[in-house]
Amino acid sequence: MPEVQYLNALRYDLENQLNSKGPLLIGAPNNFLQGRMIETIFMGGGTPSLFTPASIAHVLEMVSEFLPIAANAEITLEANPGTIERGRFSEYAAVGINRISLGAQTFNTAALKTLGRIHSPYETHQAVAQLHAAGLSNFNIDLMYGLPKQDAAGALHDVRSAIALQPAQISHYHLTMEPGTVFAAQPPKELPEDDTVELMLEQCQQALAEAGYQRYEISAYSKPHKQCAHNLNYWQFGDYLGVGAGAHGKLSWRDPEGGGLIIRRTNQIREPRRYLHKPSAHLRVLEVPIIQRPFEFMLNALRLLGGVERNLFESRTGVVWQSISSQLNSLAERGCLEIPALQSGILRPTARGIAFLNDLLLPFLPSR
């Protein structure tokens, strides 16, 4: 069965990555995994909700054989409203899933068809009803704005429809033409003008704030204390393992000989059939050079409206704070950044910095 075959491939992939003699951990301290614990698990990319609850339970059991899972770990499952069978959410909750990310995208039927989505607004409502019935109140609804033929009233209707379903978080993304997608090759017609998109964002942000959703990241709004822990770790340049077709990961450790920080990224081949054939053959392991680390850190951290602790920069990049002082001071003078004077202080973007994030990141790009 394809499902069983994929589960076997996941185990093989995990074993290969955590092999002390493998390409990822070569040179790492012998006790690298000692004391480490999994605090978040995010099953996403594609539609993992097509897996049976028994298979999801098998994945969690398999992971716990390699590393302990914290008792209060956030365990998220991405789900497409059109692939959920009635009653299934209660079964997912029973095996350990405690957070759901639901890809609604929009509540407009015509727009869903334009986006190539297989579900309907009715199915989104049904899926949310099942979530509440299963006691899974900690769920996220994904929405997009700037859709073909969409006006500000349509975008606001989507946000208000999502708010009415009482999710813990709403992710509100601008439609982008990602390289390699159908839309990038054949951009849809009748996309809204920039002024209309700005009006959409302004009105939607106001509606979210009035409903008690706090914007904590450029595209993420949550109820108090309901931020996605997995994404926060990612945005704060934390470590994570990426297992499965198309998965990305990042691990770091101190060099036992020189004491410098080693950072390695991984990415797996996206095509499932080639991944199933032999996961270890397609795993790419890349060292993150020191010159690139300030940009990679800021690329994620400056998306957070609350900012990040200054000491995280040095501890998670291995780069001294003073090496970026000129860029920081320049951005502060332009009103884009708030710089902490103390090591325990917070580095955060201003409202101007958030509005012009690309300009905020440019000074940290490696000159070469």
pLDDT at 343: 80
Is domain 289-368 given the CATH code 1.10.10 in the classification? yes
Among 95, 100, 98, smallest CA distance to 39 is for: 98
Going from N- to C-terminal start, the domains of the chain cover: 2-232, 289-368
Strand 284-287 with 139-145, pairing:
unpaired
Q: Are 347 and 307 in contact (CB under 8 A)?
A: yes
Backbone angles phi, psi at 203, to 5 degrees: -70, -35
pLDDT at 86: 58
Among 163, 249, 144, 165, smallest CA distance to 206 is for: 163
SS3 342: coil
Chunked mean pLDDT (size 10), the chain, 368 residues: 89 94 91 91 85 94 96 95 78 96 95 89 95 96 96 98 98 80 67 94 98 97 97 97 96 92 96 91 95 96 95 96 95 95 90 93 86
Among 191, 97, 71, 85, smallest CA distance to 130 is for: 85
Among 184, 186, 103, 200, smallest CA distance to 147 is for: 200
**Across the chain, what does the average pLDDT equal?**
93
pTM: 0.93
Q: Which two tokens stand for residue 267?
A: 């990415």
> Between the CA of residue 132 and those of 87, 135, 136, 176, what are the distances in Å?
11, 5, 6, 31
pLDDT at 316: 97
Q: Are 239 and 263 in contact (CB under 8 A)?
A: no
Among 104, 268, 86, 238, smallest CA distance to 172 is for: 104
Distance CA 84, CA 69 (A): 26
Distance CA 62, CA 223 (A): 32
Query: The CATH number of 2-232 is which of 3.90.550.10, 3.40.50.720, 3.30.750.200, 3.40.50.300?
Result: 3.30.750.200
Distance of CA 288 to the CA centre of its chain: 20
Among 202, 154, 156, 142, smallest CA distance to 355 is for: 202
* Burial (Cβ within 10 Å: 0-12, 13-18, ≥19) of residue 215: middle
Q: How many CB atoms lie within 10 A of CB 153?
A: 10
DSSP code at position 304: B
pLDDT at 178: 63
Distance of CA 361 to the CA centre of its chain: 19
Which amino acid is residue 264, in one-letter code?
A: R
Positive or negative, the CA dihedral 120, 126, 132, 136 is: negative
